[in-house]
Structure 1
Amino acid sequence: MASEGPSKDPHDKGCVLFTIPVELQLSICELVVIEHQPMLLNCPCNSSYRGRQHELEEIEEAWEGGTMRPPAQPAITQTCRALRELALPIFYKENVFRSCYCRRNRNIDAPIKWLRMIGPENRKLLRHLYFYDRNQGYDRYTPKDLAKLRESEIFSEMGGKLETLSSKYCSAHLVTFGEWTRKEGEVPLANEEGVPRLRAPGEM
């Protein structure tokens, strides 16, 4: 999370937000840019919709038709440079970004494209980027999909680091960039009871 105030830019003088204490600026930005559900980078796997084929088909059609797509940077970050410097690190550090990696390898094309688009500096800010499958035994029964993920440009070109955090609730692989390390005692989202913060609304 940002700990310093925004840069002084003559174009930012009209922004009322910067007339209040930095702590309040950060709190407001957190309310605006942090989502309370995972932000999906591609269509979820069918394991998240067991026995609900109709719902799965609707989700797949939405992704194929472009109604659903990977998240764009929040509108507030497009208003001025100072707001961008303040809000964008919060957006990438605090939100949960989730990708499916099952089925055909082309399914990870969307997250690869998204990671390229946000650039190396923003990739280093990511703290909760998960490649996820609701089936806790998925990697054991279909190891080739995890192998394809490991061979992707995320690791061969972008320098991603993968940490497997699968449990009785799901198959989950945390991807980080840069020199970030987890704080002592911090529990990864994939190790929380029931993994509530990795599940999107309507999923099992």
Structure 2
Amino acid sequence: MTAATEDNDEVFRLLDLPPELWLKIGKYVLDNTPKLKSWPSNYAVRLRPQDYAPLRQPAITRTCHALRIELLPLFYEGHIRFRFYDSHNGSCSGGSERSVWLSGIGATNRRCLKNVELLATTFQLRDDLRTFTTRFNFDVELGTPVKDTYGEEEMERACGIEDVYPLIFK
């Protein structure tokens, strides 16, 4: 290396910037991270390794504790969306991938999830929620039914129209 190159080599430290700037940079990175629109699909299928990519925490959240604390709640709140389906198609009683993932992210990050829903007909609701809490061993609260945001065509199933209930992790 020449002396001229060594003189110009300076380390840029992101966290040397004011907090509002590095947080803005972190949000920009999150905005450009792929969002998981629906996981798993509404049919029981094995996920391929590339299907897990949006479930991984963004690299910027793995750089330091300060970025992790600030950005992970935003990531889980706005980038992960999935549904648990009624027991007719077996998704609620199965779902080992979901169970492993939900356990792996920890209780603090589970509470940041805002787009988790249970699809069930009203008469199945009590059994489905019990199955969910028993199978996944998480404390959840059932929210009030919401309008389906995936589209009416996904609501029509062999067992009829299902209600969509938000699940809130305690």
DSSP-derived class of the 2:112 partner? coil
Q: Spell out, residue by residue over 1:88-137, the C-alpha distance to the aligned partner (whole angstroms, 9 max, x if none).
A: 122123334212424113443322221111111211222232345xxxxx
- What CA distance in whole angstroms lies between the structure 1 residues aligned with 2:166 and 2:139? 14
RMSD (Å) for aligned C-alpha atoms: 3.3
Q: How far did 1:167 drift?
A: 2.9
Change (3 A) 1:24 1:88: same
Structure 1 unaligned blocks of 5 or more:
1-13, 47-58, 133-137, 179-204
Change (3 A) 1:27 1:145: same
Aligned to 2:49: 66
Any idea what the Cα deviations from partners look like across 1:25-45, whole Å, max 9, x if unmatched? Answer: 222222222457444432x11
Deviations 1:119-160 (A, max 9, x none): 11211222232345xxxxx626xx548733442237983211
Sequence identity, in percent? Answer: 24
Native 8 Å contact 1:41 1:114 kept in 2: no
| Uncovered stretches (5+) of structure 2, i.e. residues with no partner | 1-10, 156-162
Q: Which residue of 2 aligns with 1:53?
A: none
Rg larger in structure? 2
Q: 1:173 and 1:155, CA in 2 relative to 1: closer, same or farther beyond 3 A?
A: farther
Corresponding residue of 2:101: 114
Offset of residue 82 of structure 1? 2.1
TM-score, normalised via structure 2 length: 0.64
Between 113-122 and 69-78, the greater mean CA deviation after superposition: 69-78
Q: 1:172 to 1:98 in 2, by over 3 A?
A: same
- Contact 2:93–2:135, Cα closer than 8 Å, also in 1: no
